[in-house]
Structure 1
Amino acid sequence: MPKLVDHEKRKKQIAEATWRVILERGMEGATVRNIAKEAGLSLGALRHYFSAQDELLVYAMELVKEQAEARIKRVAAENLPPKEMMLKILLEIVPTTKETMAEMEVWFAFTAHARHKKDVFDASHDGIFTAIARLIHYLDEMKLFKKELDKDVETEKLYAIIDGLALHAMLEPSRVDRNRIIHILTSHIHSICKEEQENSGVGHL
């Protein structure tokens, strides 16, 4: 068991080195040689953990996804009013901190790189659309979602808003800052919810 733990820890360290290389040099600089150097490993040692570049890149991106999912699960487990919980979850998806901004920048770079390699990694399966669909369904379950709205359409609209905010937060951080993002998301959440007192109890996502 100790060897397994050490192995996974080392793989995570290599993945984190991969993120740093992508942030500093872009995907074209994310060679096995550069990543090994950043991780402080020889090429042979790195290949002990990852036999090919694509295998390493996919692992690094899956780790980004897992970290985001873990943050969302922690928020979902909190005892928050529905609208507040929805906002807090969306703020774990849209980059508003140095950590999440770095994750998003790496994710966008990798998505562009992987768009012709769907046999290796399908970046469209990032889990964001599914998470948003569940949030819309959750509002409906809590009797907050406006009856006149179409859940499928609102899921697509919110997905587009999240994508747009994420991109512009990365490209224009001084304009699309955390306060602006919170204002836009809060406004949108209120626009799809009924005008009534929220119940402090929560359902299950």
Structure 2
Amino acid sequence: MPKIVDHYKRKIQIAEATWKVIVEEGIEQATVRKIAETTGLSVGAVRHYFASQSELLRFSMELVSDRVKQRVKTRKFPKGPVSLEFIADGVCEVLPIDDERKIEMEVWLAFSAKVLVDNTLHELSNKMYNDMHQGFKKVIETLQLLQFAKDELDLNMEVNRLHAIVDGMAMHHVLNSKQLTQEKMIQTLNYHLQSLCK
């Protein structure tokens, strides 16, 4: 009886192997041949799912995005009042505060660099940026809705600032985790959110 292959699971296996290669060896090494070697599949089997490196990278990045969204979506709201700590924890879903999120951020940064030289990835990069920006907008709007936020806050400016702070901390941590530790990132985020509140 022929073995039944779950094609979506196989694509995820290939994407996760792509992440591994990117983190350990750099994005330029994430070739179809190298990914095939890492997964134990043939080059032909990998090409069956992804015709090009760009297609493989695109799916790998979409998987990162989907996993972040899934974590955010499955967060359990507290039974009592929503606290500032709960809001900060939501923002931490996109900060590299554990091994899983650090891998995601390293892959994201490598992907972002690749976008500069691969026009086929621009559309996905823009979509992911906009999704992230909308997420930060919801954070600031939630602070306002709960009447935590100072009355004079400029919504658009604060969304831009929160996005820049999170991106900056993530990049600095990936590049120099001894200087900007996970604890310092969380402290900085909490400090910033508290500065927006009454």
TM norm structure 1? 0.87
The percent identity for this pair of structures is: 40
Is contact 1:58-1:121 (8 Å) kept? no
**Does residue 172 in structure 1 map to residue 176 in structure 2?**
yes
Matched, 1:159 2:163: yes
Answer yes or no: is 1:23 the counterpart of 2:23.
Answer: yes
Paired amino acid for 1:134 = K
What is the rounded CA distance, in whole Å, between the counterparts of 2:191 and 2:115 in structure 1?
Answer: 34
Cα 1:44/1:113, change in 2 over 3 Å: same
Matches within 5 A, 1:59-98: 59-75=59-75, 77-79=76-78, 81-98=82-99
| Kept in 2: contact 1:13–1:39 (CA 8 A) | yes
Q: Residue 131 in 1 paired to residue 132 in 2?
A: no
Normalising by structure 2, what TM-score?
0.90
* Aligned twin of 2:112: 111
Partner in structure 2 of residue 12 of structure 1: 12
Aligned letter for 2:100? E
Is residue 132–residue 158 contact of structure 1 (8 Å, CA) maintained in 2? yes
- For residue 103 of structure 2, give the secondary structure of its aligned residue in structure 1: helix
Larger relative contact order, structure 1 or 2 (CA cutoff 8 Å, min sep 6)? 1
How many aligned positions are there? 191
Q: Retained in 1: the 8 A contact 2:54–2:120?
A: no
How much is the aligned-residue C-alpha RMSD, in angstroms? 1.7
Unaligned runs of 5+ in 2: none
Contact kept in structure 1, 2:102 and 2:174, CA below 8 Å: yes
Deviation at 1:69, TM superposition (A): 1.0
Consecutive unaligned residues of structure 1, counting only runs of 5 or more, are 195-205
Q: What residue number does 2:100 align with?
A: 99
Counterpart CA distance in 2 for 1:64 and 1:106 is: 8
